[in-house]
């Protein structure tokens, strides 16, 4: 038996190792306008930085990175020359797609699996949507046993702390608690 959070973590990892590309589309795949708009916004934020770093969390197919870099190269060439673009991603399948799509930006794009101190901007499109969640109701947490849902007493102190901060304790609605999101943001902020 495992918590829903751990079950979801395993499913997400398996999903992004396989051929999932036909399952969904995100804004960057639909239109370049999203990446161009973000590129314009980012250039306003970091235009004065000496050697700015753009850190994209979860690079997807590389479409967003391509559009932002293309925008900067065309519209903000001086910033483009000074900037470095990093993609934080754990999926080997996605990293390969990103490398193919970003072939024209060699020496400008880098991949990382650890966070690091930076002067620049950190952003994502759907990174946080993929983080696993604890599912709770009242004072119970959802677990999975042999493919069946089982509700057990909530014991995870991190989840309890989030619920306490939200003033949720004991309410009857089902709630998803993303402790991983909270911990990731703390780690990101500490860099």
Q: What pLDDT is stored for residue 17 in this prediction?
A: 67
* Whether residue 118 is found in the same domain as residue 146: no
* Whether residue 121 is found in the same domain as residue 33: yes
* Whether residue 52 is found in the same domain as residue 138: no
* Whether residue 134 is found in the same domain as residue 120: no
Residue whose token pair is 């995100």: 26
Whether 181 is in a domain gets the answer yes
Alpha helices in 52-91 (DSSP H): 63-75, 77-82
Last residue of a domain, one of 92, 125, 158: 125
Number of domains in the chain: 2
Q: What pLDDT is stored for residue 50 in this prediction?
A: 96
* Whether residue 49 is found in the same domain as residue 113: yes
* Whether residue 175 is found in the same domain as residue 104: no
Cα Rg for the chain, rounded, in angstroms? 19
* Whether residue 81 is found in the same domain as residue 167: no
Q: What pLDDT is stored for residue 166 in this prediction?
A: 86
Nearest Cα neighbor of 57 from 136, 1, 130 is: 130
Q: Is the pLDDT of residue 182 over 70?
A: yes
Q: Which helix (H) or strand (E) holds 179?
A: helix 179-190
Taking CA 181 as the corner, what is the angle to CA 175 and CA 182, rounded to the nearest 5 degrees?
90
Domain that holds residue 107: 27-125
């Amino acid at each position: 038996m495992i918590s829903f959070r751990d079950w979801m973590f395993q499913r997400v990892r398996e999903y992004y190792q396989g051929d999932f590309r036909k399952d969904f589309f995100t804004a960057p795949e639909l239109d370049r306008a999203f990446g161009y708009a973000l590129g314009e916004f980012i250039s306003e934020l970091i235009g004065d930085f000496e050697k700015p770093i753009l850190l994209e969390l979860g690079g997807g197919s590389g479409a967003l990175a391509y559009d932002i870099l293309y925008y900067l190269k065309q519209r903000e060439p001086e910033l483009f020359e000074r900037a470095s673009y990093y993609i934080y991603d754990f999926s080997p399948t996605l990293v390969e797609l990103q490398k193919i799509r970003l072939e024209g930006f060699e020496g400008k794009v880098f991949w990382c699996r650890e966070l690091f101190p930076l002067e620049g901007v950190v952003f994502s499109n759907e990174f946080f949507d993929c983080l696993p969640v604890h599912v709770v109701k009242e004072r119970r947490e959802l677990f999975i046993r042999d493919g069946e849902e089982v509700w057990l007493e909530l014991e995870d102190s991190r989840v309890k702390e989030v619920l306490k901060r939200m003033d949720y304790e004991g309410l009857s609605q089902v709630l998803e608690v993303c402790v991983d999101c909270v911990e990731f943001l703390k780690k990101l902020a500490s860099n």
